[in-house]
Amino acid sequence: MRVIGRLGKYLFTILLSIILLFNLYGIYQRKIHHQQFPMAFGFGYAIVSSGSMEPTLSWGDLIVVQRKGSYQAADIVTFAQPEDKYPITHRIVSINEESIVTKGDANTSSDLPIHNEQIFGKVILIIPFIGNLLKVISSPLGIMLLVILLLLSFYFRKLE
């Protein structure tokens, strides 16, 4: 039983460390390199902040995006439009030699055509509701709390 408790503490510490590192990496890429959608090792994540992809994606869902070489109709992709401040995640409805047309599942009209270079990646994982928690953890206060939790976990481990 004691081994399971220790393993749980180590896994908790590792999880907190990974979340903290991804947050710091994202802040660095956004602020220093002005990247709209930071990706580490070909993967990135986003929090759904609209209902344009209902019922497939809901407000507050966490999506994991993977960069791919090519995309197909029906793929859900995250991309950038030049005039938008935030990335958009919609479904590809058609592809031709010159452009890719996307549309939110809940929208009545298609988006402006995009090119392959504007796509960050394909949605490969959807985790419902976790995005709201991640939004809190990614805030300056949340990052500070993560650091405090990490320090406390090391402190209490030394007391044992």
State the DSSP string of 11-45.
HHHHHHHHHHHHHHHHHHHHHTS--SS--BTTEEE
Contact 150, 20 (CB under 8 A): yes
Q: Is the per-residue pLDDT at 2 higher than 90?
A: no
pLDDT (0 to 100) of residue 116: 93
Give the pLDDT confidence of 6-60 residue by residue, as tens digits: 677 777 778 777 777 877 787 788 788 778 888 888 898 889 999 999 999 999 9
Give the pLDDT confidence of 102-153 residue by residue, as tens digits: 999 999 999 999 999 999 999 999 999 888 887 887 788 887 887 888 788 7
Q: What is the dihedral of CA 55, 57, 61, 66, to 10 degrees?
A: 160
- Residue 29 sits at the vertex; the CA angle it makes with 141 and 25, to the nearest 5 degrees, is 55
* Span 49-75, average pLDDT: 94
Instruction: Band the pLDDT of 67: cuts 50, 70, 90.
Output: very high
pLDDT (0 to 100) of residue 159: 63
Torsional sign, CA 154, 156, 157, 158: positive
Contact 44, 65 (CB under 8 A): yes
